[in-house]
Structures are given as C-alpha cells and as structure tokens.
Amino acid sequence: MTSAPLAAVTGAEGFIGSHLTEALVASGHRVRAMAQYNSFSSYGWLEALPADVLDQVEVVLGDIRDPGSAHGLLDGADCAYHLAALIAVPYSYQAPRSYVDTNVVGTLNVLEAARALGTPRLVHTSTSETYGTARTVPVTEDHPVNTRSPYAASKAGGDRLADSYHASFGTPVVTLRPFNTFGPRQSMRAVIPTVIGQVVAGQRTLALGDLRPTRDFTFVADIAAAFLAVGTAPAERVVGRTFNAGTGGEISVGDLVTLIGKVMATPLDVREDPARLRPADSEVMRLVADASRLTAATGWRPAHTLEQGLAHTVEFFRDPAHLARYKTGVYTI
C-alpha cells in the first residue's frame, strides 16, 4: 500500500498555516508541522484544530532561523510549504533586522534544506505588499516590485532567493502571493479582526488607521486551497512560477467597516487613531489581484464571497473561548 504523501509546513501554528494544516489533513496528507520553539510547548493555533485532525499531525518545535531545524522538518517530505514569517507591517518599522533574519535568512535556510534533501516541491509564500500601490489594476504577477516597508522588502528578498534557487540549482520552487487574507484565527494586527473583535467585545466607537486604502480581501479557506493547488498540480504547470491568489475585487477600508457593521447588524462609529497610521510614503493605497494565471494552471477559484467570509469570521469571534484569546482593547502592531 502506498503511504499518504508527507507535507511539511513552516509557520503551521499561525493563522494561514493552521488552516493549511487542516486542509492538508482533509485532503489525505500526512503533515509534519513546525511551530516556533517556545518554553511553554505552545502549538499556537494548531491547538484549536479538532482532536481528530491534530492526531494526524506531527508537531515539531523549531525555528527556521536555524538551518538544522529547517533540514529536520523537510527531511522525507514530498512537499514543503514555507509560511513562517514575521508579517506585521507596523512592527517592521521598529525591528527591521528581525524581519531580515526571519524572512530572508529563514527562507535561505529552507531553500538550502530543500536543495540538500532533494525535496520534490517547495511552495514559498510571498505577499501582495511587494507590489506597493498598484500602478495598473488588476495587479498581475508581472507588476513591478515596489516595496514600501521593511516587511515588504524582506519578503521580496525571500522571493528573489526562491527565484534564484530555481534558476541556479533547479530547486523545484513555486511562489504563491496571497492578497489580503482574512478569517478565523487572524491576529488583531489586521483590520477585519480588529473591527469584529472590538464590536463583539461591546465597543461601538472603533479606533482604526487610514480608511482610504483599498484591498482585495480573500477568505482564508480559499487561500489554503490555493496553497494545496500549487502544491499538488503537475510540476510542469507550476514549478518555477509565481502566482497571485485573490478574488479580483477591491473594497476600501472605510466601506469594509460599513459592510462589517451590516453583517453584524450594528451601526459603527470610526475614529482615526494616529498610532495606527503608516508613514505617509509607506502606505499602500490600492491592491487588487489578477489571479488568472493561478486559475489557468490549477483551476483554483475562490469559493467564498467577502460577505460569506465575514459571516464565518464573526461567528468565530462570537465564541467566548475564541474571543478570550485576544486583547481587543490593545493596539497590536
């Protein structure tokens, strides 16, 4: 009997990583999931997975900044999904070196492990933030890179390393570039959980940053499906290529808040908090994806509308056990 394929996941304890881990198990994969080492033996959001799902996951504590951790995780894997990263734009202004150490050097360690082990496929995670404010819309994968924050620059550095390893060593890398992902388990550093969490906690006057930027918000289950699509598609269709994952729709932050109020049947009053504003030249004002390349290569399409995804997210935050894991009154950078 042929054993199920083994998928290795970095950043598995995080928002998207935990959903991807769940989706991999549902699709019949064995999963080796890395959570960042900590003295509490915490598995992060992996601990929120149903027991019958977590029973199918080998959780290892490690750190992609250590080459040995990366090598151990990928050893024997049929496909590796590299999601581990520092992701908050505001904190990258305060601690840029940590972003280089994790997002660039950490990616280098994963690439080196995949190269040394002959890993059949490595899915590298990029971000739409590498594009900066859209010069043409919708944004295709050929749009110029225009990084506006240390976070975006560090992710672009990881992207270029991934490209170079494919070109130089034939490492079978695929890069997935999700646009703004949202859904259950997302941190309060993002606008949607910030709004929903504050409302569920009883607040009606919300503190937010700039309401003008537009984004392409994609539900996390659809992004997990995109990762699976590029991880399992025939190699000749995806290896060595970069793919956007997004809905192709855009909405301003201000209109998004109005929509959330409608979904929650709650009128909302928003005030601008200067602490939540990016530096003027660093803000990305418009992002909307062209994901036609991904659809053509794999057949992937988002299955959830924005309203459906918001309803699922509201349901998650209304669970007192989930809300208790958040500090709704604290601005998280």
Is 70 exceeded by the pLDDT of residue 332? no
pLDDT of residue 167: 98
State the catalytic residue, choosing from 151, 165, 326, 331: 151
Record the tokens describing residue 220, joined without a space.
């996390």
Tell me which amino acid residue 316 is: F
The residue assigned the tokens 């890993």 is 119
Distance (Å, rounded) from C-alpha 59 to C-alpha 36? 10
Q: What pTM was estimated for this model as a whole?
A: 0.95
Which run of H or E residues covers position 317? helix 306-317
pLDDT in tens, 69-114: 999 999 999 999 999 999 999 899 999 999 999 999 999 999 999 9
Q: How far apart are CA 89 and CA 278, in angstroms?
A: 9
Q: Cα 57–106–293 angle (5° rounding)?
A: 75
**Alpha helices (H) along 6-135:** 15-26, 51-54, 67-74, 89-94, 96-99, 106-117
CATH 3.40.50.300 holds for 6-186+218-248+288-303: no
pLDDT tens-digit series, residues 127-151 = 999 999 999 999 999 999 999 999 9
By the 8 A CB rule, do 175 and 124 touch? Answer: yes
Give me the mean pLDDT over the 51-79 stretch: 97
Q: Is 99 a catalytic residue?
A: no
